[in-house]
Structure 1
Amino acid sequence: MLAAYEGMWREQMAAYRKASVKGTRLKEYAALNALSRIELDVRQMKEAGTVATGDLGHDPAVAALDLEAKGGPTARITDCLNLADWAEERDGKPLPLPSSQPTRYRATAEAQRWDGRWRITEYTPEGSRTC
C-alpha cells in the first residue's frame, strides 16, 4: 500500500506541475474520494492559472492494516507533509503560502486492495495538525 501511496504522490505532483491530469497515471494509484480530491485541486489550479514548483516532502507510515476486512484488505497511512521546498506560481512568479499554513502538517490516507492492487481511496490533509 505504501507503493500505491508513493505512486499517487508522484502522479499527483506531475499533475500539479502542469495543472492537468492528462498524461498521468493517477487512476492506477488513486480512486474514489482521493482521486476526486486531486482532480478538484488540479481543476482549481488550472482555473487560477497556477502550477506547482519545488518538491513536497513527506514521510508516510502504515498506521493500521486489516487483511481480513469485509470487502477486501484495507490500510490506514499517516504522513507528515513538508512544504519547505514546495512552491506554487502564477505567470512565473512565486506565490507565498498563506501565513496560517504550517510548513509541516499531518495527513491520513485510506487504502483498499482491489483486484490484487492497492489504491488510495481517501486522502485527508490535516493542515492544522503540525508534525
Structure 2
Amino acid sequence: MTHHRSIRLTLAALTTATGLGLSLSACSPDTGAAPATSDPVPPPAPTTTAASPVDIAREKATAAYLGMWEDVAALANTSDWKSPRLADHATGDALSVLSRQMYADHYNGLITKGEPVHKPVVQSVEPQDAPKTVMIRDCSDASNWLKYRADNGQLADNEPGGTHLINAEVKLAVDGSWRVTRFAVEGTGSC
C-alpha cells in the first residue's frame, strides 16, 4: 500500500471516528497498530429553548378545542346534557350551545354515534406578549358521526355526514385553564 493511500485511509478513519466521538491521537499509520481509545466523549446536550408564550397558548388552546369535541362525542352517545364534563373544555356561549343541543337530542330521543375528525389550525393569538385569546379554524369531518334514534338504533334521517367549517374562540380562564368560549359550525360541505 502506498504512503499516500495509507494517509487517505487514516484520514477517512479519523473523520469517521471523530464523528463518533473517539480519540485516535495514538494511531500510527506506518506501524499498523490499533488505535488507542479513551472513554467516549458524551454527545453535546441538545439545546433546549423555552417555548414562547404564543407557542404555549397555541398548544393549550388547541388541546382545549379538541378536548371539547372529545367530551361532546363521548356524551352524545347518550345525549347526557346534564354531565359536568361538558364544562371541562367549554364555557360561556360554547357551553350553552352544547348543552342545549344535547338537551334537544335527549328530548327528541336521539343519540349520536361515532366521532368527528378534526384538523384545527390556529388563526391568531392575542396579545402576543401574554396570550389570552386564540382563534381556531377547523375543517371537521362528521361523516362517521351521525344521529340515531335511541329507541331503535335506526338512523335519525337520510342526511349523510360531511365536512363542516368551524371557527372557534378559545380563552384563558381565571384559573389558568383554556376553554372554548364560542364557536360556529357551518353547513355540510363548507370546507
Task: Give the SS at the match of 1:25.
Answer: helix
**Counterparts of 1:60-71 in structure 2 under 5 Å?**
60-67=120-127
Larger radius of gyration: 2
Q: What root-mean-square deviation, in Å, do the aligned CA atoms of Structure 1 and Structure 2 show? A: 2.2
1:105 paired residue number: 164
User: Does residue 20 of the first structure (1) align with residue 80 of the second (2)?
Assistant: yes
Question: Which of 87, 108, 111 is equivalent to 1:51?
Answer: 111
Give how far 1:33 is off: 0.2
Query: Residue 73 of structure 1: which of 111, 117, 132 is its match?
Result: 132
**Which of the two has greater strand per residue?**
1
Residue aligned with 2:139, SS: strand
Change (3 A) 1:37 1:113: same
Bigger RCO (CA 8 Å, 6+ sep): 1
Matched-pair identity in %: 27
- Unaligned stretches of 5+ in structure 2? 1-60
The Cα shift of 1:22 comes to: 4.1
Provide the C-alpha distance between the structure 2 equivalents of 1:102 and 1:13, rounded to a whole number of angstroms.
14
2:37 match: none
Query: Does the alignment pair 1:5 with 2:65?
Result: yes
Aligned-pair CA distance for 1:25: 1.8
TM-score for the superposition, normalised by structure 2 = 0.61
- Which of 96, 103, 107 is matched with 2:157 structurally? 96
| Structure 1: 4+ residue segments shifted above 2 A | 21-24, 67-70, 95-98
In the alignment of these two chains, the number of paired residues is 128
Name the SS for the 2:187 alignment partner. strand
1:96 maps to a residue whose letter is: D
Unaligned regions of 5+ residues in structure 1, if any?
Answer: none
TM-score by length of 1: 0.86
| In the alignment, structure 1 residue 123 sits paired with structure 2 residue 183 | yes
Tell me: CA distance 1:46–1:69, structure 2 relative to 1, closer, same or farther (3 Å): farther
Measured after TM superposition, the shift of residue 7 of structure 1 is 1.0
One-letter amino acid of the counterpart of residue 88, structure 1: K
